Amino acid sequence: MHSAFDFSAPALAELARADVARALAEDVGDGDLTAALVPQGRRARARVLARESAVICGAPWVEAALRQVDPGLQFRWLVPEGGRSTA
């Protein structure tokens, strides 16, 4: 039987936010060199492609991380959390 966690639960949302804040603080340090390559205000798109079949997990953390950088980001997951993707 497959069951999924409710990642909309406030406690899990806060855990994701706190985990991401710590990781970003450690990673960015004195500045984000990658962000300096993209002009401010420019609209962009990203796509994640898998080379192998995989189970998708961690989408709430991915969204929490990216929303701390830009709260206006939009996401469209083609495979749901816990679902299997094909290469």
Residues 1-60 have pLDDT tens digits of 455 556 567 777 788 788 888 887 877 766 767 677 778 788 878 888 889 999 999 888
Domain annotation covers residue 2: no
How many whole angstroms separate alpha carbon 45 and alpha carbon 36?
Answer: 17
Q: For the chain, what is the domain count?
A: 1
Q: Which domain holds residue 19?
A: 10-35+46-85
Calculate helix-pair angle for 59-69, 10-28, nearest 10 degrees.
Answer: 60
Q: What is the model's pTM? A: 0.61
Residues 5-17 have pLDDT tens digits of 565 677 777 887 8
CATH number of the structural domain spanning residue 65: 3.90.1170.20
Domain annotation covers residue 68: yes
